Amino acid sequence: MLKTVHVNADGDEQILSLNTPGEVLGLEAFSTGTFTNDVIALQDVVCCELPLRQLDEHGTRFREFGAALVRLLSKAVAPRPHPARGSVRQRLTTFLLDLSTRLEDRGLDGRQFALGLSRQEIAELLDTRIETISRMMQKLNREEAIRVRGSKVRLLGLAPARDSRGF
């Protein structure tokens, strides 16, 4: 897994997203010509760099590849739930279910996985405090919606949160 971060002029890092294998990164470079964010590997990864100039030059030879690339790029820009909306329970549940779905979409185990982020990083991504995330994860664990062991999570009976009361 990878995390995409933005570092401001003061050197403060903001986590923008958690990326799963097979996702397309760096799309902002299409319009600006530069990458505006950094990507940090949270575990060993294999990346594939697409030489867009060469693809453009040899486009007629790579029609089938080009069509597959367009399908991949269209998935990359599809809207995803904003991680910092709703109650803390809704945010955490949405984050875990979204991550599960994206892993399953790539043929990986979406029911049991390593989070890749610390509790502090999850709290930053979900715009809350580490203590709140820790309490909510413990609560979901007690309710047997998830099973937490360190950074590994197993989804048991987790369903989208519907309450609007918060934590």
In a domain, 145, yes or no: yes
- In the block, tokens 């309710």 appear at 143
Residues 60, 12, single domain; the answer is yes
Model confidence band, residue 167 (pLDDT cutoffs 50, 70, 90): very low
Evaluate if residue 131 carries a pLDDT over 80.
yes
- Give the other-Cβ count within 10 Å of 22's Cβ: 15
What are the pLDDT digits (tens) for 77-127?
655 666 667 899 999 999 999 999 989 988 999 999 999 899 999 999 999
Residues ≥6 apart with Cβ < 8 Å to 23 = 76, 102
In angstroms, the first-to-last Cα distance of the chain is 29
In a domain, 146, yes or no: yes
Among the listed residues 122, 125, 116, the one whose alpha carbon sits nearest the alpha carbon of residue 136 = 122
In a domain, 162, yes or no: no
Residues 112, 150, single domain; the answer is yes
Residues 48, 95, single domain; the answer is no
Residues 8, 67, single domain; the answer is yes
CA distances from 120 to 8, 15, 94, 159 (A): 19, 11, 17, 23
Average pLDDT over residues 42-71: 73
The backbone torsions φ and ψ at residue 150, rounded to the nearest 5 degrees and listed phi first, read 65, -120
Model confidence band, residue 1 (pLDDT cutoffs 50, 70, 90): confident
In a domain, 166, yes or no: no
The count of domains in the chain is: 2
Residues 63, 8, single domain; the answer is yes
DSSP-derived 3-state class of residue 4: strand
Per DSSP, 107 falls in state T
Q: What range does the domain containing 116 cover?
A: 88-155
DSSP-derived 3-state class of residue 147: strand
pTM reported for the whole predicted model? 0.73
